[in-house]
Amino acid sequence: MANFEEKLERYAELVVKNGVNIQKGQYLNIAAPIFAVDFVRMVTKKAYEAGAKRVSYRWTDDDLTLIRYQYAPEESFEEFPEWEAKGMVMQAEAGTAFLSIYTPNPELLKDVDPERIAKNNKTSGQAMKPFSEFMMADKVRWSLVSVPSELWASKLYPELGKEEAMDKLWETIFKMTRADQENPVAAWEAHKNNLTEKATYLNNKKYKKLHYKAPGTDLSIEFHPKHLWNTAANVTDGVEFIKNIPTEEVYTVPLKTGVNGTVTATMPLNYSGNLIEGFSLTFENGKIVDYSAEKGYDILKNLIGTDEGSHYLGEVALVPHNSPISQSGLLFLNTLYDENASCHLAIGKGYPTTLEGGDAMSEEELKAHGVNDSLTHEDFMIGSAELSIDGELEDGTVEPLMRNGLWVI
């Protein structure tokens, strides 16, 4: 049986070879919290061994983020460093791969004025939109992974001491990402094939609508005839990469004006250092016309109010309730993990790659095909053991797709 260091090395190799899939002579940009420096060093070594030309870094720190919100002048939240936004675009144009190492802190900004958070999110979203369009259209290779922190580990395992909780969370991450297996790279090949089978089935069916039924949920979602179901395994310049590790989803884009009914979230949403809990959204002709939340109402209000597009959906994703992450029984308070335990939707921008020829379309062409545009893209979870989904074909035939949260196809 592999020891901790061996599994950690496998995880780093998985991130480099399956995640961003570094090619010889390529640049890699890593964004990571400063406490993850040991893992970043390991990833860097693997990247250079895989042929990377140069690895650069963007370091983050929760305490510094909080200090800025507490003490920076108000006008600073209406500005974003132009050099940073342009620099990211220049790197993307040069074919750089981007790795984000993320650790949640769901209550970091709980005492910060929600209006200040919203202002900063909108300012940064506007400045970084040109770069985000590279990522959303898969014009660069990118991947998102997580590592533990003492705070996150203690939230998931409050009955354990700090060291035990960290060890437990690392083991959970290794299992969820298949890094605990003898050959994680090969294990991911088999997993990708399984997801591709589901996406192929849905693409052959070309359902006109999906109908969702669950406690607090009665929702219909319509699709453009040219919609495509994708997995998190995508291709840029002929090279495959995995955007999310772990991933259990197949996903597509809804018709912007084709969403009607009410949906209730089944998990809290960790958004901008705050938790939004017990919330539901009501749609008419695609637009959110009403919403409620037991906790974090103002945060939800500001998310929906980011811009015109944040009143609409940009993604529909299907995940079986028996996924490994769901079977763990943990609420991770980390969207990367929680979205892969549950069917989910996303408020905001749609992926161009979920439409036939969409990656080559202009912004105006995408809008004409019903693809939503926004500064934001925020997933929220709606799956449960009580969720049923039916697919409606063009001729009106209705077929079962999921029952009790599980595939029936």
Per-residue model confidence as pLDDT tens digits over 196-220:
999 999 999 999 999 999 999 999 9
Residue that terminates a domain, selected from 129, 145, 176: 176
Tell me, what's the pLDDT at 186? 86
Q: Quick one: pLDDT band at residue 253, thresholds 50, 70, 90?
A: very high
Residue tagged 């637009």 (tokens): 287
Q: Is 111 exposed, middle or buried (0-12, 13-18, 19+ CB in 10 A)?
A: exposed
293/17 Cα distance (integer angstroms): 41
Q: Among the three residues 176, 207, 234, which one is the final residue of a domain in this structure?
A: 176
CA distance 349 to 241: 21
136 and 248 together in one domain: no
Read off the CATH number of the domain in which 81 is found. Answer: 3.40.1830.10
pLDDT at 185: 83
The Cβ of residue 132 has, within 10 Å, a number of other Cβ atoms equal to 17
**Per-residue pLDDT band at 313 (split at 50, 70, 90):** very high
Residue 189 confidence (pLDDT): 87
* Pair (225, 113) in one structural domain: no
Q: Are 366 and 373 in contact (CB under 8 A)?
A: yes
Q: Which domain holds residue 38?
A: 4-176
Distance CA(324)–CA(65), nearest Å, equals: 33
Residue 151 and residue 30 in one domain? yes
Q: Within this chain, do residues 66 and 97 fall inside the same structural domain, yes or no? A: yes
pLDDT mean over 319-337: 94
Are 100 and 213 found together in one domain? no
User: Both 292 and 341 in a single domain?
Assistant: yes
Tell me what percent of the residues of the chain surpass a pLDDT of 70. 100
Mean pLDDT of 307-322: 97
pTM of the model: 0.94
Q: Please tell me the predicted confidence (pLDDT) of residue 120.
A: 96
Residues comprising the chain, all counted: 409
Instruction: Give the model's pLDDT for residue 380.
Output: 97
**Does one domain contain both 161 and 225?**
no
Q: Is 78 in the same domain as 197?
A: no
Counted domains in the chain: 2
What pLDDT score was predicted for residue 2? Answer: 85
Residue 1 has pLDDT above 80, yes or no: no
Question: What is the mean predicted confidence (pLDDT) over 394-407?
Answer: 97
Shared domain for 269 and 166, answered yes or no, is: no
Distance (Å, rounded) from C-alpha 331 to C-alpha 253?
26
Extract the runs of DSSP E, i.e. beta strands, from 327-385. 344-348, 377-381
- pLDDT for 356 equals 96
> 271 and 339 share a domain?
yes
Model confidence pLDDT, tens digit, residues 113-170: 999 999 999 999 999 999 999 999 999 999 999 999 999 999 999 999 999 999 999 9
DSSP letters for 53-117: SEEEEEEE-HHHHHHHHHHS-GGGGG---HHHHHHHHHHHHTT-EEEEEE---TTTTTTS-HHHH
Query: Which of 176, 208, 229 is the C-terminal boundary of a domain?
Result: 176
How far apart CA 276 and CA 294 sit, in angstroms, is 8
| Mean pLDDT taken over the chain | 96
The confidence band for 291, taking pLDDT boundaries of 50, 70 and 90, is very high
Q: Could you tell me if 111 and 203 lie in one domain?
A: no
Q: Are residues 263 and 396 in the same domain?
A: yes
Give just the sign of the alpha carbon dihedral 153, 158, 162, 165: negative
Cα–Cα distances in angstroms (integers) from residue 123 to residues 31, 85, 134, in the given order: 20, 11, 18
Distance CA 1, CA 100 (A): 29
